[in-house]
Amino acid sequence: MHLSFLIYSYFPFGGLQRDFLRVATECASRGYKINVYTLSWDGDVPNGINVILVPITIRNRIKRNRAYTEWVQAALEQLDDSLVIGFNKMPLLDIYFAADPCFMEKATKQRGFYYKFTSRYRHFKEYEEAVFAASQLTEVLILSPHQRTAFERYYPECGSRLHQVPPGISADRKVAVIDKKMAVELRAELGLAVNTKLLLQVGSGFRVKGVDRALKALAALSKSELEHCHYLLIGQDNPARYIRLAKKLGVADQFTVLSGRDDIPRFLAAADLLLHPAYSESAGYTLLEATIAGLPVLTTATCGYAFHIEQANSGLVCSEPFDQAQLNSNLAKMLEELETATWSQNGLEYGKQEELYSQASAVADFVDEFLAREA
């Protein structure tokens, strides 16, 4: 049986991309023939996965998406039998892995009145409806209760097609005991004093990750607290506007940006706090990865995996609607209580749950069951 995976682009540091690769690799290990249709691929290709680069080079995103869909549809028609699994919202899908938030919720809550008259709005609304509209049959794998609430609000009849799957944290991220020596070594590499409180944020796409919110919270700290803090941002994006914002806020000396990298566990083990005030995120794997590494978390309720932080009692979650003053207050509170709070130990204990590492096998099981029903 062919499994056709559809994803616009692959690179090693995106949460969606990592989910996709783990699922595709697990399915390949079960004997499925895997074809991946993508516009770009950055990184190694695992055994058992056939990457097909779709030859579309149109710069306009909307036109590129439509051309990609047309090209893939023609290619799929040449296969005798194929189950189509998508990691972006689009037509053609039998199964959609919902790594992205509900577009209609974002368009309604985060965009102005005139946005609905744009071609961008019409395109992404149409592609989301191709998955969630009442007339569709696509089965949807969601990552959090927040997603279910959002999708059911805007597509009331899709509920029976929504199936929540567990997280897919890599087992090598599990920590038994915190290595304090690593914290000293990393601060030395970064040129920071040993007693510097290191605030870490990890994630590509700095705008949606709320880097502006993080910088404002940093700038709101008292002078004495700020002198002993450093905010380290790691991810794939252009940091220029945030470097300018840091200078404007007077915190440029307390702000460092590094590009995406593979040794994130080192930073999770060495930091004092994970700061992740995202505007919107279906999951937010870094929240769980920090928690199971014993790193306290400060995040926002719009992150899908924020409920894990509350369940684990491994940090604080800013309520919705977002209030910058609350984030500022929570950051100051957490920095003050780091030495006495139990957030770190609570996270390590929460990380002992095997379900946190089972996403790929759960999705592959769903594929097996889906094909068995179809047969």
Q: Is the pLDDT of residue 61 over 90?
A: yes
Domain that holds residue 95: 2-166+358-374
**pLDDT on residue 293:** 93
pLDDT mean over 135-145:
96
Q: Residues 155, 69: one domain? A: yes
> pTM of this prediction?
0.86
Rounded-to-integer distance, Cα 28 and Cα 23, Å: 9
pLDDT mean over 39-51:
96
Q: Residues 136, 243: one domain? A: no
Q: Residues 181, 141: one domain? A: no
| Consecutive H or E run containing 123 | helix 119-132
Residue 71's domain is classified under what CATH number?
3.40.50.2000
Q: Is the pLDDT of residue 358 over 90?
A: yes
**In the block, which residue shows the tokens 């601060």?**
187
81-111 pLDDT tens trace: 899 999 999 999 999 999 999 999 999 988 8
- The confidence band for 174, taking pLDDT boundaries of 50, 70 and 90, is confident
- Percent of the chain at pLDDT > 70 equals 100
**pLDDT on residue 280:** 87
**pLDDT on residue 295:** 96
**pLDDT on residue 178:** 76
Q: Residues 151, 217: one domain? A: no
Q: Residues 236, 92: one domain? A: no
- The confidence band for 247, taking pLDDT boundaries of 50, 70 and 90, is very high
| Contact assessment for residue 289 and residue 267, using Cβ atoms and an 8 Å cutoff | no
**In the block, which residue shows the tokens 């100051």?**
332
Q: Residues 152, 178: one domain? A: no
Q: Residues 41, 56: one domain? A: yes
Other C-beta atoms lying within 10 Å of the C-beta of residue 137: 8
C-alpha dihedral sign at 349, 352, 353, 357: positive
Q: Residues 161, 235: one domain? A: no
pLDDT mean over 284-310:
95
pLDDT mean over 258-262:
89
Q: Which amino acid is at 8?
A: Y
Q: Residues 159, 98: one domain? A: yes
pLDDT, averaged across the chain: 95
C-alpha to C-alpha distances, 81 to 64, 76, 136, 249, 262, nearest whole angstrom: 26, 9, 20, 57, 37
**pLDDT on residue 17:** 93
Counted domains in the chain: 2
Q: Residues 157, 272: one domain? A: no
What is the DSSP code (8-state) at residue 163? Answer: E
**pLDDT on residue 192:** 94
**pLDDT on residue 1:** 80
Other C-beta atoms lying within 10 Å of the C-beta of residue 176: 8
Q: Residues 263, 129: one domain? A: no
**pLDDT on residue 298:** 98
- The confidence band for 13, taking pLDDT boundaries of 50, 70 and 90, is confident
- The confidence band for 214, taking pLDDT boundaries of 50, 70 and 90, is very high
Q: Residues 143, 216: one domain? A: no
